[in-house]
C-alpha cells in the first residue's frame, strides 16, 4: 500500500467525510490555549524568508497559553485556502499568519470574509481599510538593512560594480534594490548596481544563472531579494565575489566571503499580536517597523570587512536607530532620467509613498 505524504489539505478532505462538526465539537469541549497558525510557501530551513518566520514561530512555542501549528511548502494557490481552513476547523486556530506575498489576494481575503471571527495577518504591505476588518498586514523597513549592506559593499568592491538578484519588481523589492545602490553611492558615487529579476520567489536555476551573469558582468559584491538566498550566496562565493545576506544570517554558507546581511526579527510583531488576542483585543491592522523597533537586525561583520567599513556602517546605523531616517531623498532621478524627488524633499522610512515604489533609481542598471 502506498504511503501518501501528510498535509493538512488532505486531512481536511477526509474531515469532510468524517464530519468536521464532530471534530470541531471535540476541540470546543476541551480547554485549549490560543492556537496560532503559520503558513510558509517554502521549507522552514531555507536559509531565507521562510526560516526567518519559522524561527520566530519556534520561539513562540515557549509562551504560556499558546499553541503553534505550522505548514510549510504551501503554494500561492487555493491550496493555501485549504490549509487555512484546516487550521481553523481541525486545530481551532483563531489567529493565522499566512506569510507569503501571494497568499493575500484572493486567498486570505476569501477566508477572512468566510471566517469573520478569525484574525488573519499577512506579511506585506497589502491591507487597506477597504479590506475585511479581521485582516491586516505587517512588514519591516528592511531597506535600512540593504542600505547598510550597500555601505559595506562599497568598501569591499574593487570593480565599482555590485549586483542584485531579485524575484519580482514589487515595491518592497524595488525599495531594497534602490537602498542597496544608494548605500553604496553614499560611499562612492561612481558605483553602479546591475539588477536581474528572476520572476519567481524561489527558482534555484534562474538564481544561479542570474548570479553567474552578474559576476561575469564584473560585479564583485552580490546581494538578493528572493525567498532563499542560499543559491545566490553559494554561487557568488564560489565565483570569488563577496556577498551581503538577506532574511537570516547566511554566513555559514560562505564564511570568508560573507560581509554582513539584513535580517528579519518577526518575533516582536507576533508576540504583540498574540498578547492582543489573549487580552481580548484585535491585533493592529497595519504594523511597520525597522531597526529602531527591533524588526530588522544586521548580521555580524565577516572577516573581509575593513575597519573603515565597520565605522562607516555603524555610524549610519546609529542615525537609523534614532528614527526618521530618509534613504530616498532629493534631488533624485530614476534610471530613465525622470525626476523622482526634488531637492529638499525626502521619504523617511514611514512614508506611505514607499509602499507604492515603481522605479529604480539612477545608477541601477535594469528595468521594472
Stretch 29-41: mean pLDDT, rounded?
83
Exposed/middle/buried for residue 365 (C-beta within 10 Å: 0-12, 13-18, 19+): middle
pLDDT at 22 over 60: no
pLDDT at 9 over 70: no
* CA nearest neighbour of 83 among 66, 71, 68: 71
For residue range 291-349, what is the model confidence (pLDDT) as tens digits?
A: 999 999 999 999 999 999 999 999 999 999 999 999 999 999 999 999 999 999 999 99
Exposed/middle/buried for residue 233 (C-beta within 10 Å: 0-12, 13-18, 19+): buried
Find how far residue 319's CA is from the centre of its chain. Answer: 23
What does the alpha-carbon distance between residue 56 and residue 33 come to, in Å, rounded to a whole number?
Answer: 18
What does the alpha-carbon distance between residue 340 and residue 354 come to, in Å, rounded to a whole number?
Answer: 12
> Average per-residue pLDDT in the chain?
92
Output the nine-digit C-alpha cell for 297.
Answer: 537586525
Stretch 194-214: mean pLDDT, rounded?
97
**297 in Cβ contact with 265 (< 8 Å):** yes
Residue length of the chain: 368
**201 in Cβ contact with 226 (< 8 Å):** yes
* CA nearest neighbour of 71 among 93, 63, 62: 93
Contacts of 324 (CB under 8 A, 6+ apart): 348, 349, 350
Residue 193: half-sphere exposure toward Cβ, Cα within 13 Å: 37
Instruction: Describe the strand order of the beta sheet including 119-120 as a list of residue ranges.
Output: 66-71, 34-39, 95-98, 119-120
pLDDT computed for residue 31 by the predictor: 54
For residue 315, the SS3 value is helix
What does the alpha-carbon distance between residue 329 and residue 147 come to, in Å, rounded to a whole number?
Answer: 13
For residue range 152-167, what is the model confidence (pLDDT) as tens digits?
A: 999 999 999 999 999 9
pLDDT at 16 over 90: no
Report the alpha-carbon angle 154-340-222, nearest 5.
Answer: 25
* CA nearest neighbour of 65 among 25, 39, 95: 95
Whole-prediction pTM:
0.89
What does the alpha-carbon distance between residue 314 and residue 320 come to, in Å, rounded to a whole number?
Answer: 10
Contacts of 313 (CB under 8 A, 6+ apart): 148, 151, 152, 260
Output the nine-digit C-alpha cell for 260.
Answer: 554582513
**290 in Cβ contact with 296 (< 8 Å):** yes
**What DSSP element (H or E) covers 357?**
none
For residue range 71-130, what is the model confidence (pLDDT) as tens digits?
A: 999 999 999 999 999 999 999 999 999 999 999 999 999 999 999 999 999 998 789 999
Amino acid at each position: 500500500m502506498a504511503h501518501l505524504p501528510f498535509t493538512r489539505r488532505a486531512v481536511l478532505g477526509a474531515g469532510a467525510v468524517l464530519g468536521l462538526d464532530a471534530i470541531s465539537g471535540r476541540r470546543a469541549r476541551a480547554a485549549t490555549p490560543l492556537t496560532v497558525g503559520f503558513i510558509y510557501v517554502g521549507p522552514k530551513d531555507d536559509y531565507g524568508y521562510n526560516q526567518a518566520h519559522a524561527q520566530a514561530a519556534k520561539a513562540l512555542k515557549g509562551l504560556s497559553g499558546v499553541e503553534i501549528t505550522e505548514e510549510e511548502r504551501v503554494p500561492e494557490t487555493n491550496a493555501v485556502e485549504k490549509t487555512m481552513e484546516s487550521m481553523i476547523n481541525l486545530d481551532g486556530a483563531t489567529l493565522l499568519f499566512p506569510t507569503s506575498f501571494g497568499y493575500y489576494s484572493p486567498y486570505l481575503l476569501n477566508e477572512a470574509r468566510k471566517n469573520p471571527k478569525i484574525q488573519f495577518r499577512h506579511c506585506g504591505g497589502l491591507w487597506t481599510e477597504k479590506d475585511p476588518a479581521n485582516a491586516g498586514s505587517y512588514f519591516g523597513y528592511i531597506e535600512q538593512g540593504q542600505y547598510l549592506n550597500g555601505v559595506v559593499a562599497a568598501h569591499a568592491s574593487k570593480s565599482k560594480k555590485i549586483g542584485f538578484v531579485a524575484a519580482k519588481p514589487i515595491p518592497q523589492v524595488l525599495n531594497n534594490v534602490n537602498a542597496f545602490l544608494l548605500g553604496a553611492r553614499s560611499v562612492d558615487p561612481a558605483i553602479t548596481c546591475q539588477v536581474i529579476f528572476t520572476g519567481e520567489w524561489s527558482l534555484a536555476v534562474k538564481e544561479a544563472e542570474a548570479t553567474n551573469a552578474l559576476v561575469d558582468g564584473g560585479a564583485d559584491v552580490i546581494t538578493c531579494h528572493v525567498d532563499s538566498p542560499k543559491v545566490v550566496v553559494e554561487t557568488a562565493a564560489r565565483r570569488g565575489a563577496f556577498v551581503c545576506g538577506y532574511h537570516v544570517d547566511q554566513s555559514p554558507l560562505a564564511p570568508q566571503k560573507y560581509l554582513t546581511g539584513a535580517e528579519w526579527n518577526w518575533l516582536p510583531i507576533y508576540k504583540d499580536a498574540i498578547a492582543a488576542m489573549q487580552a481580548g483585543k484585535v491585533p493592529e491592522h497595519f504594523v511597520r517597523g525597522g531597526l529602531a523597533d527591533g524588526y530588522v537586525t544586521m548580521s555580524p561583520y565577516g572577516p573581509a570587512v575593513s575597519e573603515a567599513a565597520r565605522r562607516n556602517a555603524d555610524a549610519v546605523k546609529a542615525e537609523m536607530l534614532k528614527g526618521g531616517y530618509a534613504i530616498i531623498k532629493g534631488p533624485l532621478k530614476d534610471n530613465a532620467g525622470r525626476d523622482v524627488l526634488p531637492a529638499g524633499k525626502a521619504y523617511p522610512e514611514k512614508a506611505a509613498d514607499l509602499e507604492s515604489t515603481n522605479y529604480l533609481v539612477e545608477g541601477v542598471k535594469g528595468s521594472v
